[in-house]
Amino acid sequence: MRTVRLTVTKSACRSGYCKQGDSFVVKDLCPPLCHEFWNSIYPSVYALLNGALLDYGEQRATQFDAKCP
């Protein structure tokens, strides 16, 4: 089973869910993130869980950057 590690590199979370340095491992269930953020990153997480490479700058990679909407 593939896993995806989410690492919070910067945080201004209005709900207090995410703090800088937090790390979550995603296997098949949503980690304890707010619904707004999870909704925005889920397509990329799902793609990585299924072996995709994503556009990352000028290259394809198994990582992405995201900001909370």
Q: What is the mean pLDDT of each run of 10 residues along the chain (69 residues)?
A: 92 85 90 89 95 95 91
pTM, entire model:
0.86
- Provide the pLDDT for residue 14: 83
Domain boundaries, the chain: 4-61
| DSSP result, 1-69 | ---EEEE-SS---SSS---TT-EEEESSS--S--HHHHHHHHHHHHHHHTT--EEETTEEES-------
